[in-house]
Structure 1
């Protein structure tokens, strides 16, 4: 079976849609399989892997900035989100879906939701 030569390495900007909200982000995919993400209210790190000719899976933990009081839809204070996405690339575009699990300051899961993302390569 041929191995995919496609790689997401570089910087991408995009949006993630969840619970009727749309948040913008920038993500940098590094050659070693790691990634870093920034949003207006959080930063995070994680890992990625190409799983097929046009498929990518990535997982990350996104911590809310200390100056942000993030309240989950069920009324609890959120500290971070664990996000797992499967995405398909088409040229310099990524579209994907996955799950976002919100955790409180005590690491307890307080909320989970679906997430959809769209991104474009910028470098």
Structure 2
């Protein structure tokens, strides 16, 4: 599992940063303890990210349904990896577990 920082803004936008990528997207509240978010995570230009099937990956589209429990957020969804030409390379299940930091 990769370390990441995601910032949820009050206007429904979000941003994510990892050692290998940055991304932006949006989020919506679906109940008192649940939310959905979607983001496009672009690999940094100095990173050569090769997919499990041997193709160069340019970005990932991630869609997650998550549940908040106190300061912890856990979720499941899909991650679809795209090549530099935008063509889908592969898709996989995605999970996340995050904790709120001040």
How far residue 87 of structure 1 moved from its aligned partner, in angstroms, is 0.4
User: Is structure 2 residue 65 aligned with structure 1 residue 86?
Assistant: yes
What 5-or-longer segments of structure 1 have no aligned partner? 1-21
What 5-or-longer segments of structure 2 have no aligned partner? none
What is the distance in 2 between the residues matched to 1:53 and 1:32?
A: 17
Deviations along 1:27-46, whole A, 9 cap, x unmatched?
00000000000001000000
How far residue 102 of structure 1 moved from its aligned partner, in angstroms, is 0.2
Please identify the structure whose Cα radius of gyration is greater. 1
Superposed CA RMSD in Å reads 0.5
Question: TM-score, length-normalised on structure 1?
Answer: 0.82
Tell me which residue corresponds to 1:7. Answer: none
Count residues in correspondence: 102
What is the distance in 2 between the residues matched to 1:32 and 1:116?
A: 24
Of the three residues 12, 17, 32, the one matched with 1:33 is: 12
Report 1 or 2 for greater relative contact order, CA contacts < 8 Å, sequence distance ≥ 6: 1
Question: TM-score, length-normalised on structure 2?
Answer: 0.98
What stretches of structure 1 move > 3 A for 4+ residues in a row?
none
User: Is structure 2 residue 35 aligned with structure 1 residue 56?
Assistant: yes
